A = this chain, B = another copy of it.
């Protein structure tokens, strides 16, 4: 039988070989914490507080209104977008940053309906992150004749498109599933949808910064995603939107605010979209949140992305093997694909009894993951800053909590608000 010691030894070897390990120094890692929730809210890059102080004191307080041009605030949605573009396989000036993932999703879905007139169906996966489904439903209810239909879990997309594809304007999918971490084959799905004449809108929230993504190379149409997970942009950091350059000049989107206008200071009554992705910007962007993200993204100039994605897979696999070896008696069910090439950077185990309490007991020991009801324990592995030693330690804590039933205490049953 494997011992924790064996995994600690393997972790030490893996950490020694990890060329990305120095990147951890860019982040504030709270003492006593093993953070396996970077897939919900990434750690704070150490450079962020100084940047916020500079923008507040050096730009807002002193430059005042002039900072919109002189400090580059006006261009932030696009300049920050360029930093993200490099991570998701998009080109320069193709990504707009601002608003929330939900709002950007609405823009893109509406644009898709406009690009595919006569096709009334939004085909969305039923198990998607709920906000995506809510936004699609909101749009479908607003636009008479539009139908939101669901692809049920396990249902074959090819068969569905074969049957109903001619009525589908857009297929809405997450690239990485927020529960199971299952990764969809982007090129294959795009090809299937295109063969049916439909577009695909990808939600890259659990992809960006941890999982390979090549929007251009896979012939993608549209994508949105958040920046507060593996991009470490801060709580509620602004989201991004991308539409393929071959379509962007035809895009009309209904959230047509002045900051996406061709001449925002012309103050004309009629809307003329700006050229390119700038038309995806709506109202005045929230600068303080944008600059924190901008600062966080500077770290990516130093990241070997192929090495990063490989580390992510190595890390999730190490965790799975350790849990399966050390916690075998406890009926944890891996709900993720077993092949690391087919999953993202988090691992979920279902546990019929006590999953919530186990996560609370882990948190009490400094190991922070999250729980997705009814029975899913979710652990995220941010390869930018985690060490294999931390992963081994987390499993060791988990084993003790399960072996001793430490989780079975009233104080771990109190439910609050978590994300």
Contact = CB atoms under 8 A, between A and B. Distances in A.
A88 B41 CA distance: 34
Contacts of A143: 142-144
Across the A-B interface, give the 8 residue pairs with the lowest CB-CB distance, nearest first: A100-B283, A102-B283, A102-B257, A131-B258, A235-B287, A138-B254, A286-B289, A44-B61
A256 B134 contact: yes
A40 interface: yes
A224 to B, nearest CB: 10
User: This chain: how many copies in the complex?
Assistant: 2
Contacts of A69: 416-418
Nearest to A75: B417
Contacts of A268: 130
Question: How big is the A interface, by class?
Answer: 35 or more
Contacts of A253: 138
Interface stretch (A2-10, A17-25, A27-35, A211-219): A27-35
Interface string A94-109: 0000011111001000
Contacts of A61: 28, 30, 43-44
Contact of A141 (B44, B252, B289): B252
Interface string A138-170: 110111110000100000000000000000000
29 contacts: A33-B64, A37-B64, A40-B65, A41-B68, A43-B61, A65-B368, A68-B235, A69-B417, A99-B283, A100-B283, A100-B284, A103-B283, A129-B258, A130-B269, A131-B258, A133-B269, A134-B257, A137-B270, A141-B254, A144-B144, A144-B145, A228-B284, A234-B288, A236-B286, A236-B288, A236-B290, A265-B418, A267-B372, A289-B289
